[in-house]
Structures are given as structure tokens and as C-alpha cells.
A and B are shown apart, each in its own frame.
Chain A
Amino acid sequence: MSEETVKAPETEQAEKTLPEADTPAKECAEETKASSDVVIHLENIVKKYYIGSENELEVLHGISLDIREGELTSIVGESGSGKSTLMNIIGLLDKPTEGKYSLLGEDVECMKDATMSKIRGLRIGFVFQNYNLIPRMSALANVEVPLLYARKSPRERKERAEELLEMVGMKDRMNHNPDELSGGQKQRVAIARAMANDPALILGDEPTGALDRETSEEVINIFHDLHDKGKTVLLITHSEHVAEETSRILTLMDGRITGERKGAYAG
């Protein structure tokens, strides 16, 4: 299951023409089911802030890329390169100003807020730099949160959360609150939480950014495990070192993808 990670070169910036500039009434049918193993399909994604005002700011200048099922990919960029913005758009936390994004074959532009919330909960697992565990709730309860919003029964939630915490090696500390856990432990809990609804895509936003080298490696290893189990993983990082732990590296600079190479990790 390792060799297929290499194939993704057709997503160069070649087709950078703007065929569908900003037509408000796009056809919102699920027409892009063609290549069914494409998890993320970005086409000329532009993101502008302060639209219409003097200090209008274009952060992303037309990003196009495809990420296929089972890939372990990283997007590397300095701070200010627009990688967080890109991550928010991919994670359905934000909408692009222009361009087309389909996630798992569904056009994001046509989605209602509630649909986006549901997809975030069921199909995407977020791992944040600063963990974003909810304070005053045990590790177990934190892992249960996405299951709660997926309307799972209390018993199902507990069973699944325990299983996931066991997977990340946190079962013995599952009744501790976040402030009783170390950084590495918190991030393990956060990864377990991201896995709760068995999402199609795991998004890591600087997942090791707050960790020391040793714990970083432990966390990276968990991502490797997930990849080995066939999960699609996308890490966003400023660290070349972390990027080398993935099999496909995309470089983001000033809002454009400027390069793509194979990473050191082969699975």
C-alpha cells in the first residue's frame, strides 16, 4: 500500500487558467465523482480578506491540488505563507473566495453550514497545534465529543472512546483532565478524538509544534500508524523535519504551491 503515494503529479499548476471566475450560480450537483479515490480536490482556490476595502488582502493566489485516498501528505510553508488559511479551507472551517473545492466528491461551495458541520464531525479529524482539548473534561469525555455530535448513544460513545484511547496508549489516564496531562499525552488524546468517527481525512495543523523532539517522534509515529491503516493524512507544518516524515511534500510560499517532492517516509 506504499507505491500509490507517489502518483499525484497531474496536480501541477499547469491549468492555472480561470475557467469559472466567479459565477454565483454554479451547478451544485455531485458531478465530480469521476475519480472516486480523490479525497481533496482544489482548483484555483483564491482567498481574499477585507474584500472591497482599501487593504484587501489576497492570501491564496489560486491553489490547485489533489490528495488521494490513503496518502500521507504534508504542506510545508513559512509562517505567512497562507498554510493555515489553506488548512481552514480544506477543513471546512472557512470558504474560499474563488475556486472550486470538492471534498470526497462533494462541492463545498454548495454546502449549507449545517452540512459543513456534519462533514467536519464525521469525515474530517482535526489535530491542532495546541491540542484544543476542552478543559474540565476528562480525556475520555473529550474523545466522546465528536461522537456526541454524531448522535451516538452514551454506551457506544464510551466504548469507542476507550478503544481509541487504548490505541494511542492513553487508556490508563483516560479519566484525567487535560491539565493533568503532558503535552504529548494531550496530543495523543487529541488524535484519538480526531479518529472518533473514523473520518476519511485526518488534518494535522502543526501537530508537533508544541512538543519536544522525542514526543514529536512519538506523535509522528501515531500518524504513521494511521497511514498504515489506510487513512488519508494531511499535515500542515513549517518544519522540514516533520515534512520529511511524510511521503509527499508540497511547498507553499506566498500563497502558491511552489514545489512538490517525495518525502523520506515510504510507509
Chain B
Amino acid sequence: MLGENITLAWRSLMANKLRTFLTMLGIIIGIAAVIAITTIGNSTVEQTKKEYSQMGTNVINYYIYEDYTMSDTDDAGNVTEPADTSSQPQFTKDMMEKMVAKFGDKIDCIMMQAWLTSTQAKRDSASDSKTANITVQGVNNGFFKLPTNNFQLTAGTTFQEGQMGADDKVCIVSDKLVDNLFDGDYEGAIGQDIEFEMSDMDLGGQDENKQTYIYTIIGVYAYQIQGQDFQNSADMKNIQTDLYIPYLNAQSLVKYESGKQINYFSLNAKPGEDVFTLTDDIKAYLQSLVPAGTNAIVDGDNNATYIEQAEASVKQKSLQAALVGAIALLVGGIGVMNIMTVTIVERTKEIGTRKALGALNSDIRSQFITEAIMICLIGGAIGIAGGISIGFVACKMQGIAPVLSFKQIGIFFLISLAIGVFFGYYPAAKAARMNPIDALRYE
């Protein structure tokens, strides 16, 4: 019987193609709008997730800073300068050691990083004019282990025992630098010296005069080409890559006081640790170590938090979109109901004939409900396809990888079905209740 109903419905819909399409349009627009918006939303969330999980969901960042709200205020309530400007809040060596003692078994590595300056490097005492653009950074070995940094060694080693002190002038350079200065001989570059210039001013001091620094290469890492980098050879010549020197060495070079302190570090929690709990526990512990009488505040966050925030924000937007879509679908559903009512009046005689030929009320009812469902399902399918297309195009335009949610497609198919049943039922029931003689006599 279902097969016959579908055939009948199809015939009837095809007999009034324009009308059928216009009726479907309400459903199509409603579903397409919601699907498009949620496809974009889901794709954005996935993108965010991917970005953050590439950076490692177990990475936790800690900051320490002065709480100005606890600073002195004048009579008018305005914040005045903190009482003691000479000592910025910092994670002291003592604090770090205590933290490692307490939480060491939950921590994979601790990363510390000090950004110095951007400059140009060349081979030490070389006669050629080859140069490479660099950004000098002081890091500890934790930096290389942190998944966020996606660090891969091509040749040589990271900092070894005895190379991490304030006076150790060793560096780890990118393969791009080796390409530019040593013609791509990565193994051969190990042990070579390179030189670059920095002024005191570059390092936070006053003196503008450049000084030459000479460092020995101990390792070469694979530079990760970023999306915005162009890959032609001219760009590769000018590419700016990081040059890593020991953290303590960098601190010794810095000319301003707070640069010699730790006020930011990241750590990677061991796999399986509850990142949220650990974030809070370490934060509370570090806060408890802050010397009494200072206004220092310890703050910590992790990438999982960002993912959650992104998801929550998209979820809210999706909800709003769903609401708009629901209204559109309601209007579409009313359109279906309207057209079904018209159809039934037009086909009164057919209904009468069918009843005379033995159709039960339920036969008539299911025939017209099938027709309403078909309008909605076809409309729903077109809407889903259209919504996905719009979503994909929009994602491509924003440079986001589009994500297809089959669950969502399934849900909207069911919603289409439900609209058909809900809005088709009343007209179909009306048709089923028709008195056969009245229906037969109808002209």
C-alpha cells in the first residue's frame, strides 16, 4: 500500500510542478538556512579544535602579574601607581622548584621562553654575503618537548648538559637558515659558528650601538611552513625563522630587570591527567607561594578551555539559528497544510470515487499524509543539499575546512518527516472523514 501511496503522491505532485515547488520552498529555505549556519558553525568548531589540539590540549600556560585593583587608590578612588615599582611579580626559582617537587609526576615538561629580537645572521668570518633572517629566542629544553611547538630535529641535538648556562653560546637553527647559509648541508652545519648583531636597545637597554654575537650551531630543526608563507625560492631566501639559544643565556643578555625574571611559562601535563583540575591545582599552589604583602596574581589557562569556549559560543549561535529555522519551518509547514487543504478540495470527487470503490478512511488518510510527507521529504532533501552547499562555499571562502555532520542530516530528515505528518494530518483526516455521496456529487 505504501508503494501505491508513494506512486499516487508522486503523480499528484508532478501534476502541479510549480505549485509543489513553491510549497516546498518554505521547507527548503528553512532547512537550508539552518543546515548552512550549523555547517559553518560546526566547521568553525572543528577548525578551532584542530588548531588547539595541534597545539596540544594538555598544554597549560601560567602568568603572574600585578593586581592593580589591589593597588593603592587615592581619595577619589583612582588607581595610583603601585607602591613598589622596582619589583615586578615573578615566578621565583624557589616557587618553580617547589612546584616541580609537588606536581613533577604529573608534568611532562616545563617550557620557558624569552623573546629577544629579530636580526640577520651570517656565517662567522665568511667571505660570502649570504644572510638569513632570524628571530632570537631563549628557550629551555622543555620548549622542544612541548607539543604546541611541534619541534622536529633534523640534525644535531638539543641543549646538552653543560650547554644550558648563562655563558653557553650555542644555538639551534632552522633548516631554512642552513639552506641559506650552508647550502642545505645540515650535518655539515653542526659545529659551525654563525654571527648576528644586536644592540642593547634591541635587548631593552639604552645603547643603540650594535654588537656582534657569535654562536655555535649544535642542532638543526625542520621549519614548519605556515599557511601565510609563500613557497617560492625568493621568499625562502627572505624567510624569517627562529634561532634558539639557552634560556639562561638569553636572560643574561637582557638589559631590563623584568626580562631577567620568569613571569610566564607553559607546561605539558602528562597524558591522562585531568587538565582542568591540574590547571587549577597548580594555579592555587603557585598563588599560595606568592610572598605575603605583594599584589601578584597567578593565572593559568589551557587550550581545552579555549576549545570549550569556542564550542559554547558556536552552540549558542547554532541554537539561535535553529530557532530562526524552526520559525521558517513552521511557516513552511503551514504552507504545506494550506496546499494539502486545497488539493483535497480539488480532489473531492476522487476521494468520493475511491470511497465508493472500497477505500477505508485510513486508506484515504494515509494517501494524503504520504503526499504531505513527500513534499516535506523532497523539500527537506533539497534543503539539506542546498544548506550543505551554501555552508561549504561559505567555509571555503573563510578558509575553513568544511565538516559534514551526518547526524545532523539524519535529524533534519526526521524533522522533515515530522512536519509532513504534523501538517499533513489535519487535511488528510478531513479528506478521510468526507461523506462519500457528498464527495461524489461535488463538481
For A197, the chain B residues whose CB sits under 8 A away are 358
- Give complex CA distance A145, B349 in Å: 15
Q: Is A88's beta carbon under 8 Å from chain B?
A: yes
For B1, the chain A residues whose CB sits under 8 A away are 148, 151
Q: Is A137's beta carbon under 8 Å from chain B?
A: yes
Given contacts A93-B436, A128-B440, 12 further A-B contacts (CB under 8 A): A88-B437, A91-B356, A93-B355, A113-B361, A117-B359, A117-B360, A128-B353, A132-B356, A134-B353, A149-B359, A150-B358, A193-B357
- Tell me the residues in window 332-368 of chain B with beta carbons closer than 8 Å to chain A beta carbons: 349-350, 352-361, 363
- Give complex CA distance A126, B354 in Å: 11
Chain A nearest Cβ from B421, distance in angstroms:
22
- Give complex CA distance A194, B12 in Å: 24
Please give the residue numbers on chain B whose beta carbons come within 8 Å of chain A beta carbons, in ascending order. 1, 3-4, 11-12, 15, 349-350, 352-361, 363, 436-437, 440
For B4, the chain A residues whose CB sits under 8 A away are 148
- Sample 27 A-B pairs with CB under 8 A, ordered by A number: A88-B437, A93-B356, A93-B437, A94-B437, A113-B361, A114-B360, A118-B360, A120-B357, A120-B358, A121-B357, A121-B358, A122-B358, A132-B353, A132-B356, A133-B353, A134-B350, A134-B354, A136-B15, A137-B11, A146-B357, A146-B358, A148-B1, A149-B354, A151-B1, A154-B3, A193-B357, A197-B358
Chain A nearest Cβ from B209, distance in angstroms:
95
In contact, A149 and B437 (Cβ under 8 angstroms): no
Nearest B residue to A196, CB-CB: B357
- Tell me the residues in window 67-101 of chain A with beta carbons closer than 8 Å to chain B beta carbons: 88, 91, 93-94
Nearest B residue to A205, CB-CB: B440
For B440, the chain A residues whose CB sits under 8 A away are 93, 128, 132
* A93-B440, A94-B437, A134-B350 given; A149·B357 CB < 8 A: yes
For B355, the chain A residues whose CB sits under 8 A away are 93, 117, 120
In contact, B361 and A117 (Cβ under 8 angstroms): yes
Nearest B residue to A133, CB-CB: B353
For B359, the chain A residues whose CB sits under 8 A away are 117, 121, 149
Chain A nearest Cβ from B225, distance in angstroms:
64
* A136-B11, A136-B15 given; A145·B354 CB < 8 A: yes
- Give complex CA distance A117, B432 in Å: 12
Nearest B residue to A134, CB-CB: B350
Encode contact with B along A35-59: 1 for CB under 8 Å, 0 otherwise: 0000000000000000000000000
- Give complex CA distance A13, B360 in Å: 36
In contact, A145 and B357 (Cβ under 8 angstroms): yes
Encode contact with B along A116-154: 1 for CB under 8 Å, 0 otherwise: 011011100010100011111100000001101111001
- Give complex CA distance A117, B12 in Å: 24
For B12, the chain A residues whose CB sits under 8 A away are 136
